[in-house]
Structure 1
Amino acid sequence: MEQAYTPPRVRSVGLDAPLRWLAEGWGDMMRVIGPSLFYGALIAAISFMLSKALINSNAAFWALALSCGFVFVAPMLAMGLYEAGRALEAGEKPTLSQMLFVRGALRQDVAYLGLALLLIYLFWGRIAQIVYGLSTFRLHTSVDAFVDFALHTSEGHSMLIAGALIGGVIAFFTYCLVVVSAPMLLDQRANVFAATFTSLRSVSQNFAPLLLWAFIITALLIASAATWFIALVVIFPWLGLASWRAYRDLVEER
């Protein structure tokens, strides 16, 4: 009879670990620079075109809301980078095709995690709409009008504060679920329940380092959005490979 899968042990790391993951992730990206930048450019192009389409459709609010919610789906978009990190660790040279078509991700448990993140993403969009609706009776269709409302009115300030607080709680909960589980699901023995449980234990056991890691990820993604996602060309593969390093540092190999 096949033995049931038991979740692996979680290691404790120091507060300097996130900076080490960034350094190691940068080194990995340099080792596979061409495919990494192509991967990042693909994510950046999709993000830019989606935001541009929303703005051109007079939906500036949705462009902002969905850009802020990018953190909810980013872990699943980085599966190819986790695969690249796994290959580099094994002494292999990952190819672009391996990164774009990850065989290990074509399984039910990965689909379950992806569906959960998509539902959270859609839930965030609805919450953002409610916060916006409670803040004003007007619909600001252009970027200039929306930014002017958000930055120069008391109602806009209230909207930003409420949105940041509620969005922050949802984002951190999502982060706790996926910080380890997304790369862990490349292990064919792991299921979605064991992976998310291990992710939650990792955060609980290393709260300060992983809180710092969350701030670093958020800051880099906000910086990317501020450049109309151009910076994602470098930042997305860098963070994806660093996240693989974080997973390997936090979770003992079985």
Structure 2
Amino acid sequence: MSASGGLPEVALVSMKAPFCWLAGGWSDLWKAPGPCLVYGLIMALISFGLCYALVVSDAEFWVLALTVGFVFVAPMLAMGLYEAGRQIERGEKPTLGEMLYVRSAVRVDLAYLGLFLVLIYLLWGRIAQIVYGLSTYQLHRTVEDFVEYAIGTPDGQTMLLTGTLIGGAIAYLTYCAVVIAAPMLLDQKTGVFAAIVTSVRTVADNFWPMTLWAVIIAVLVLISAATGFIAFIVIFPWLGLATWRAYRELVPDH
């Protein structure tokens, strides 16, 4: 598609593209396994620590809500992996230090994008709390009680369905805005609004492939959560590097 209003051109891809991105990301992961897996380990420890703190604080409901909402802030947490992908693309070897402190990411436009994602994350948390509050008058203080309520009662099943629909809609809209914007902002010449518009155009022009990519990301994140975030050690860097591959194919001339 031709560029419009000074925005970069957006490429059209097939339904095979998400699987090619995964394959490319997997290949890149093993070109720099040390720093990438340590990066994944850090994210896994943070995720597990947060969930464990919620469980021991009798706030099990928030584990589910915040796990689902993780997709809102993940693009910013993966900036180091985008930088690694960029360096691997140039034939360089990324280091952990360069991934933890991405010099080109220290700029106002990325701060704006990060603030936007945090606000969406907090909004989702508040909505999840409202859905839970409207579904029951009881406070479930243990994981077992909450799971029994959510799965074994009509009100709990309604809560899960409602939360899934609302959360899914918010997550997909957020995904449309940032899936390309986050890696694109590593380029110092790109502003946050141009990056977001380009991201939305990319999803609109490649609706089915990009929707498939969103489903793949969601499934892999849920698999990670189901393993106590142990799988995150590999899955998080894999997805981050694959996302860089996706950006480079979808916005090839940028």
Please report the TM-score for the alignment, with normalisation by the length of structure 1: 0.97
Corresponding residue number in structure 2 for 1:136: 136
CA displacement 1:163-210 (0-9 Å, x = unmatched) = 000000000000000110000000000000000000000000000000
Where does residue 68 of structure 1 map in the other structure? 68
Cα distance in 1 between the residues matched to 2:161 and 2:183: 33
Q: CA deviation at 1:91?
A: 1.4
Partner of 1:219: 219
AA matched with 2:151? L
Please give the alpha-carbon distance, in whole angstroms, between the structure 1 residues aligned to 2:184 and 2:158: 39
Matching residue of 2:146:
146
Give the Cα separation in 2 of the matches to 1:192 and 1:212: 25
AA aligned to 1:114 is G
Paired amino acid for 1:72? F
TM-superposed CA distance for 1:7, in Å, is 1.9
Q: State the Cα deviation string for residues 206-253 of structure 1 (Å, max 9, x = none).
A: 000000000000000000000111110000000000000000000022
- Could you tell me how far 1:132 is from its partner in structure 2? 0.4
Cα distance, 1:63 vs structure 2: 1.6
Q: Which AA in structure 2 matches 1:71?
A: V
Letter of the structure 2 residue corresponding to residue 58 of structure 1: D
**Superposed CA offset, 1:46-73 (max 9, x none):** 0000000011000001121111110000
- Distance in 2 (CA, whole Å) between partners of 1:213 and 1:67 is 19
The equivalent of 1:78 in structure 2 is: 78
Separation in structure 2 between the aligned mates of residue 72 and residue 211 of structure 1, nearest angstrom? 16
- Give identity over the alignment, percent: 62
- What amino acid is aligned across from residue 168 of structure 2 in structure 1? G
Take 2:26 and 2:54, find their aligned partners in 1: how far apart are those partners? 33
* In 2, Cα distance between equivalents of 1:141 and 1:195: 43
Aligned residues: 250
Which residue is 1:197 aligned to?
197
What secondary structure is seen at the aligned counterpart in 2 of 1:15?
coil
Residues in 1 aligned to 2:252 and 2:20: alpha-carbon distance in whole angstroms: 18
What per-residue deviation string (whole Å, max 9, x for no partner) do you get for residues 101-147 of structure 1?
00011000000000000000000000000100111000112111100
Partner residue in 2 for 1:19:
19
Deviations 1:30-86 (A, max 9, x none): 000011110000000000000000110000011211111100000000000000000
Q: Structure 2, unaligned stretches of length 5 or more?
A: none
Distance 2:252 2:63 in 1: 40
Secondary structure in structure 1 of the residue aligned to 2:140: coil
3-state SS of 1:31 partner: coil
**Which residue of 2 is the match for residue 87 of structure 1?**
87
Where does the alignment leave 5 or more consecutive residues of structure 1 unmatched? none
**Counterparts of 1:111 and 1:26 in 2: how far apart (Å)?**
29
Aligned partners of 2:168, 2:237: CA distance in 1, in Å?
Answer: 24
RMSD of aligned alpha carbons: 0.8
Task: Look up the match of 1:121.
Answer: 121
Amino acid at match of 1:214: A
Moved beyond 4 Å, runs of 4+: none
| CA distance in 1 between partners of 2:141 and 2:217 (Å) | 29
- Aligned-residue offset at 1:6: 2.8
Counterpart of 2:249? 249
Distance of 2:6 and 2:91 partners within structure 1:
27
Pair 1:50-2:50 in alignment: yes
Secondary structure, counterpart of 1:69 in structure 2: helix
Residues in 1 aligned to 2:46 and 2:221: alpha-carbon distance in whole angstroms = 15
**Whole-angstrom CA distance in 1 between matches of 2:6 and 2:244:** 21
1:92 positional shift: 1.0
Distance in 2 (alpha carbons) for counterparts of 1:241 and 1:73: 16
